[in-house]
Amino acid sequence: MIERLSPDHVFGFNEQDIEENRRGKLSERQAGIIRSEGFRTALVICGIIIGIVLLAVVSTQSVQGGEIQCVGGLMFMIVLYVFYHYIIRIEAAVRPRTVQALTGQPTLIVNPNGSIMTISGQIFKLSLSEARAFRPDTAYTLYIVPALRRIVAVESYSGEARHADPLPLVEITMPTDDSGSETLRA
């Protein structure tokens, strides 16, 4: 039996968020989460880059003063680029505080290393837990931040899907740790 978590648990939204999303708006809480995640990612990447460069400098036997300044300047430029890429890009996507609604029945290709979902002609990479939040033969409305292609909320759609995918259902059988098999249908 496949353990399914609710979409609000997996994607981290609440009722106030989804009310804003239904009006085409990104909630302030969702915007804050996206900003803080982007900032943490930028810090981790910068830390890794600085660590690699410092390791390379320390492992070099003869380092001249000019070489250290050059390496320091290079590190500074790389850190600025990473912060620009993550922080500025995320801020530009979040600032308008708009979301796009995609409605349809998703098609999932589930793989232990990551899953792929198509809905309304758009493709999303999902973790296994995110893929398990979707039930077979159910239409959904996904609320996404278009510039980031990030899902911020999901709700099942009870009406006729306006943009339902005509793609077939996909069934994948994969091994589990207890040498049985697990089948996911989407």
Structure confidence at residue 103 as a pLDDT band (50, 70, 90): very high
For residue 84, what are its two tokens?
């620009």
Check residues 19 and 81 and name the one with the higher pLDDT. 19
CB of 22 closer than 8 Å to CB of 32: no
Residue 166 has pLDDT above 50, yes or no: no
In the block, residue with structure tokens 């939204």: 13
What's the Rg (C-alpha) of the chain? 21
Whether pLDDT at 59 is above 50: yes
pLDDT recorded at residue 2: 60
Beta strands in 65-168 (DSSP E): 100-104, 107-109, 115-119, 122-126, 140-145, 150-156
pLDDT band per the 50, 70, 90 thresholds, residue 123 = very high
Asked if residues 183 and 173 have their Cβ atoms less than 8 Å apart, the reply is yes
**Confidence bin at 159 (pLDDT 50/70/90):** low
Task: Quote the pLDDT of residue 171.
Answer: 47
Could you tell me the sign of the dihedral formed by the alpha carbons of 6, 7, 12, 15, in that order? negative
Q: Is the pLDDT of residue 63 over 70?
A: no
Return the pLDDT at 177: 52
Q: At residue 1, does pLDDT exceed 70?
A: no
The percentage of residues in the chain with a pLDDT greater than 70, rounded to a whole number, is 77
What is the pLDDT of the chain when averaged over all its residues? 80
Instruction: Report, as an integer, the average pLDDT of 67-79.
Output: 75
Domain layout of the chain by residue ranges: 7-25+98-185, 28-94
pLDDT for the residue 28? 95
Distances (CA, A) of 144 to 35, 101, 123, 170: 15, 7, 12, 23
